[in-house]
Structure 1
C-alpha cells in the first residue's frame, strides 16, 4: 500500500464509463481490491472477448495514470517512502504484492522514488488467482525466501486483507478508505502512526 488510489481509480472509471454512456453507480464497491479483468467482466459481462477486456482495462488505466500523474506526491500514504527506504537500508526483505496493473506499479514506484527498495514485485497477472486468494502473497514470500507466517503485510482493501490472513501473515490494516479492519492485528491511518514500529518489533518469529 503505497499510494491512496481508490478515489482516483473511482473517478477514472466514472469518467471512462460516462464516455461510453454506461451508468457507473456503485463502481467503487465493484472495483475495490479486484484485478482489472474482473472489474471489466463485471461491468461488460462475462462473455466479453479477451481482446476487449484488455482494451477497456488498458484505456481506463491510461486515464487513471493521466489523472494521478500531477497529484502523485500528494497521494502517497504519509510516511510510506521513509518507511520503505528505512526497511531497505536495514536489509529487511521487501516485496510488492498487488492486484494492480504492471504499468501502474511501475508508474507509482518510479514516481515515489521507491523502485529500488523492493527485491521482488508480484502483480495480479503473475498468478492464476488474484486477491482475495493468498497466491500473490505466497508467491512474494517464496521469492523472498521468507516464511509467510513471518511476513508483515500492509493492506487497505477487504480482499487484500482476506488474502493476507489466508496466507498466514501478520496484517496491518491501513485505514485509507475503510473505517475499520477487523482482520488486522493492527489498524493505523498511515505509516507515521506511533504504534506501528513497536507492534512490529514485538512480533515473535513463527
Structure 2
C-alpha cells in the first residue's frame, strides 16, 4: 500500500466529479442545449473538453465572445442547470466511501471546505440533497470568485476562510484545470479518476496519488 506522509490541517473538495460522479450529466445538459436548442453540430466529446469554469466561460470557449447577450447567457445557464438537476437527481449519491471519509476527517479535527466552480444553486442541491452540509466550514462557489480555475482564487479563499496556510491544505480534484489551480495555490492534490485519463495529469508535480473512490487505502494514512 502506498503511504502518504502528508498530514493536512484542512481538506478542500472540488464538487462535480470529485464528491459526486455527475460530470456526464452536466455535459449532456449543455450538449442537448447546444445541439437541440441552438441547432449546432458540436460533438459530445468537443463539449466535454470545455466542461470547466463558469457557465458564461463555457459558452465563450465554445461560441466565442459576443455570441450571446448577457440576458441570453443567463437564460441558457438557467435552462442548463434545470436539465442537469432533473436528470441527475435520481442518481444523486456521494462517490463510494466519501461518507465515511468525511466522518473520519471531522472526528480527527481536520477542517473541510468546498472550492468549486459550481454555482451555489448546484452546491446547495448536493449538500442538502445528501444532508452533508454540517461537515463543511466554508463554501466557495463560482459566485464568490472573480477568476475561475486554474486561477487559485477558489482554493485560496477556502483556505483563508478556514484559517489554514495553503501549504497545509490538501485538495481533492478530478480535472486537470483543478489540479493546476491547486498547484497555483501551493497545495497538494489527490485526483479522482472519474472524468479524465491519467496522462492528462502528467505535467503536475503536486499530485500525491490517484484514486477511483474514497475507499482507497492510501487515504487511511492521511488522517
> Who is 1:16 aligned against?
33
TM-score, structure 2 normalization: 0.83
> Who is 1:5 aligned against?
22
The 5-angstrom pairing of residues 1-206 of structure 1 reads 1-20=18-37, 21-25=39-43, 26-31=46-51, 33-47=52-66, 48-73=68-93, 76-180=94-198, 181-182=201-202, 183=204, 184-198=207-221, 200-201=222-223
Query: Deviation at 1:58?
Result: 1.2
Query: Deviation at 1:68?
Result: 0.6
Q: Which of structures 1 and 2 has the larger relative contact order (alpha carbons within 8 angstroms, sep 6+)?
A: 2
TM-score, structure 1 normalization: 0.90
Aligned alpha-carbon RMSD (Å) = 1.4
Query: Deviation at 1:197?
Result: 2.2
Gaps of 5+ in 1: 202-206
Query: Deviation at 1:91?
Result: 2.7
